[in-house]
Amino acid sequence: MNQPLDGVRVVDFGQFIAAPAATQILVDLGADVIKVEPVTGEAARTIGLYGEAILRTYNRGKRAVAVDLATPRGQQLAHRLIADADIVVQNLRPGVMERFGLGAAAVRAAHPQVIYATVSGFGLHGPSKQRAGLDIAAQAESGIMWVTGEADGEPQRVGFPVVDAAAAQVFAQAILGAYVRRLRFGTGDEVEVSLLEVAVHLQGPNWGEYLLTGKPPVRSGNGQPTVAPAADIMPTLDGAIVLSAYSAPHFAKLCELIARPDLARDERFESNAARVRNRSALLIELRAAFADQTTDQAMDLLTPNGIVAGRISSYDEVRKNPDVEATGLFIEVDGADGTQHTTLGAPWNLGSVPSSSRAGAPTLGQHTAEILGRLGYSPEDIADLQAQRVIHLP
Residue 225 lies in a domain: no
Residue 143 lies in a domain: yes
d(CA 29, CA 374): 23
- Check residue 225 and give its pLDDT: 86
Longest dimension (CA), the chain: 85
d(CA 158, CA 261): 36
- Check residue 356 and give its pLDDT: 62
Residue 227 has pLDDT above 90, yes or no: yes
Residue 151 lies in a domain: yes
d(CA 15, CA 37): 8
d(CA 391, CA 384): 9
d(CA 19, CA 165): 10
d(CA 315, CA 231): 20
- Residues acting as catalytic residues: 164
Beta strands in the chain (DSSP E): 9-12, 32-37, 63-67, 87-90, 115-120, 189-194, 232-235, 240-244, 308-311, 330-334, 340-344, 391-392
User: 177 lies in which domain range?
Assistant: 9-202+325-392
Same domain, 74 and 191: yes
d(CA 337, CA 392): 18
C-alpha dist (Å) from residue 41 to 10, 237, 345, 366: 19, 49, 24, 11
d(CA 91, CA 16): 9
- Check residue 269 and give its pLDDT: 98
Residue 226 lies in a domain: no
Work out the pLDDT band at 132, boundaries 50, 70, 90.
confident
User: Pick from 285, 312, 339: which residue ends a domain?
Assistant: 312
Q: What is the CATH number of the domain that holds 287?
A: 3.30.1540.10
- Check residue 357 and give its pLDDT: 65
Residue 227 lies in a domain: no
Residue 92's contacts (CB-CB under 8 Å, 6 or more residues apart) are 13, 15
Residue 171 lies in a domain: yes
Same domain, 193 and 253: no
Same domain, 133 and 14: yes
Q: What is the CATH number of the domain that holds 73?
A: 3.40.50.10540
Same domain, 195 and 247: no
Same domain, 292 and 356: no
Work out the pLDDT band at 220, boundaries 50, 70, 90.
confident
Work out the pLDDT band at 213, boundaries 50, 70, 90.
very high
Return the closest-CA partner of residue 133 out of 174, 181, 94.
94
d(CA 168, CA 145): 20
- Check residue 316 and give its pLDDT: 97
- Check residue 64 and give its pLDDT: 98
Residue 24 identity: Q
Around Cβ 118, how many Cβ atoms within 10 Å? Answer: 24
> What would the pLDDT profile of 344-383 be if each residue is shown by its tens digit?
999 999 988 877 668 999 999 999 999 999 999 999 999 9
Number of structural domains found in the chain: 2
Residue 82 lies in a domain: yes
Work out the pLDDT band at 18, boundaries 50, 70, 90.
very high
Same domain, 308 and 339: no
> What would the pLDDT profile of 228-274 be if each residue is shown by its tens digit?
999 999 999 999 999 999 999 999 999 999 999 999 999 999 999 99
Provide the CB-side half-sphere exposure for 150 (13 A, CA): 2
- Check residue 142 and give its pLDDT: 98
Same domain, 299 and 333: no
Residue 320 lies in a domain: no
User: Pick from 277, 312, 347: which residue ends a domain?
Assistant: 312
Residue 16's contacts (CB-CB under 8 Å, 6 or more residues apart) are 42, 43, 44, 54, 91, 134, 164
d(CA 41, CA 246): 51
Same domain, 44 and 159: yes
φ and ψ of 17, to 5 deg: -115, -60
Q: Is 379 exposed, middle or buried (0-12, 13-18, 19+ CB in 10 A)?
A: exposed
Same domain, 29 and 158: yes
